[in-house]
Structure 1
Amino acid sequence: MNQQAISDLITKMADDELVLGHRNSEWTGLGPVMEEDIAFSSMAQDQIGHALALYRIQEEHMGGPDPDAFAFLRPAAEFKCCHLVEMPIGSYDFSLMRHFLFDHAEAVRYESLLQSEFAPLQQLARKLKGELKYHTLHADAWILQLGRAGGESYERMQAALDTCFPLACGIFEPGEADQALINDNIYPGEKVLYERWLDNIYRVLVKASLNMPDPAAITPAYGGRYGQHTPHLQPLLEEMGAVLRLDPAARW
């Protein structure tokens, strides 16, 4: 197996989850209703936990660095997260749409890993199956409710979809070693996952009366997998790593 290719795949998955987990945690105490405040905080904690599990796979099975140092002390140019997760939380319609698009992408990715020849990823996919189902059910419920509500609700959700969709397509930015991962049966590759994702979100969007943008007519937000990020990432990383940087050698 191509160890470097597997490590790159794990890094981009973990970086996505870590950054979005921190973004979603910014809604703690600010949710529109108490139940949503708890739900978004809980899912943010799940995402950061998924990131830690992935970083630990790198450390334990691939001789990778300490997960805390890797998560909090790297510069932005060494992160492989997509642009979607870097964006500020904006208003709740944006964050809900990002939640919907991202968590469906994660669902198809982890579902594919259930057949992976790399055992640690296969085992993690089994472990997280229930959590990911909850995340997508939560997202679907809100997209359906707000999309069908008509008036301003519909208009805001459609605008959020139009904004988020090109960013979300960047989740599936092709990697240089994708073919090696496909050949080793690690996962089926970004193109296959992208098509599955489009099918899944389309079914929900139709029920919500929302119009999915034409994938052929948009420009995906690529670059994040190669260290090219939005201006929003570096300030977030500085905030995330502020405590650890006070004394990286300390035993917290």
Structure 2
Amino acid sequence: MTTAQQQAITDLITKMADDELILGHRNSEWTGLGPIMEEDIAFSSMAQDKIGHAWALYRILQEQLQGQDPDQFAFMRAEADFKCCHLVEMPIGTYDFSLMRHFLFDHAEAVRYDSLQQSSFEPLQQLSRKLKGELKYHTLHADAWIIQLCRAGEESYNRLQAALETCLPLAFGIFEPAKEEQELTGANIYPGERALFERWMDNIYPVLVNASLNMPDPAGISPQFGGRYGEHTPHLRPLLQEMGEVFRLDPTANW
């Protein structure tokens, strides 16, 4: 593996892990607040899954790419060193927003991991196969609730339509291209952000049609880029302070 490829893989894994860590923390904020007990449990469970995925990715960085200890890397970095997209940083808002974010992000995550099942980088290939079942459950859960709530009445439908229009520019930012992307596509490590974006659109469109939601014209949407390069929303810094508060009391402690 060349130095350029190693740097590009490190960047890719960091983006994936940071997305999962931050969204996992955000979704955990629904614990005790879910609209019904079933959803309270489901969102909490999926939040735990995402944080587990982040930890597994940080371990790959540590063990395969000479990265830092996962806890140190997750909790001690500066805001500008995070590579998460803007979508995952946003506060949970009302349930319609969090549900739409869950739907759009988890389908993007499923497409990304599915593509990695053929990756030439074996640690990512193995992890993607291990997580296949969890990701299937996450997307099925999101699809079911999107369709169910869109058929629950005019107010419910209108709120989800508005949430879709709010979330799409943020969701497009998931697929912000990397400068080193050719190093990965040329080595068959992953297919590139444009290819993943197109697969994602193919996956979410039938669900939106089934829910009778109107997909805005993608050509008219300005993606909210910047997160992959350390430019973040005002919401990330306080979240990082809260998330790492206990760890930073004594970073060398053994738990």
Q: TM-score range by the shorter chain?
A: over 0.9
Whether 2:176 is the aligned partner of 1:173: answer: yes
* Alignment partners' CA distance in 1, 2:164 and 2:78: 30
* Alignment partners' CA distance in 2, 1:82 and 1:142: 24
**TM-score normalised by the chain length of structure 2:** 0.98
Whether 2:235 is the aligned partner of 1:232: answer: yes
Residue of structure 1 equivalent to 2:6: 3
Residue of structure 2 equivalent to 1:85: 88
* Alignment partners' CA distance in 1, 2:182 and 2:214: 33
**TM-score normalised by the chain length of structure 1:** 0.99
Q: Which amino acid aligns with 1:186?
A: I
Q: C-alpha offsets along residues 99-154 of structure 1, whole Å, 9 cap, x if unaligned?
A: 00000000000000000000000000000000000000000000001112231000
Whether 2:60 is the aligned partner of 1:62: answer: no
**Aligned partner of residue 246 in structure 2, secondary structure:** helix
Residue of structure 2 equivalent to 1:250: 253
Q: Which residues in structure 2 correspond to 1:1-252 (within 5 Å)?
A: 1=1, 2-252=5-255
Q: C-alpha offsets along residues 23-76 of structure 1, whole Å, 9 cap, x if unaligned?
A: 000000000110110000000000000000000000011110000000011111
**Aligned partner of residue 56 in structure 1, secondary structure:** helix
* Alignment partners' CA distance in 1, 2:138 and 2:233: 26
Q: Which amino acid aligns with 2:31?
A: T
**Aligned partner of residue 17 in structure 1, secondary structure:** helix
The runs of 5 or more residues in structure 2 that have no matched partner are: none
* Alignment partners' CA distance in 1, 2:205 and 2:121: 30
Point out 4+ residue stretches in structure 1 off by more than 2 angstroms. none
Q: C-alpha offsets along residues 188-211 of structure 1, whole Å, 9 cap, x if unaligned?
A: 000000000011100100000001
**Aligned partner of residue 242 in structure 1, secondary structure:** coil
The offset of 1:213, in angstroms, is: 1.4
* Alignment partners' CA distance in 2, 1:72 and 1:129: 27
- State the number of aligned residues: 252
**Aligned partner of residue 24 in structure 1, secondary structure:** helix
Q: Which amino acid aligns with 1:122?
A: Q
Identity %: 78
Higher alpha-carbon deviation: 13-22 or 143-152? 143-152
Q: C-alpha offsets along residues 202-227 of structure 1, whole Å, 9 cap, x if unaligned?
A: 01000000011111101001000000
* Alignment partners' CA distance in 1, 2:196 and 2:47: 23
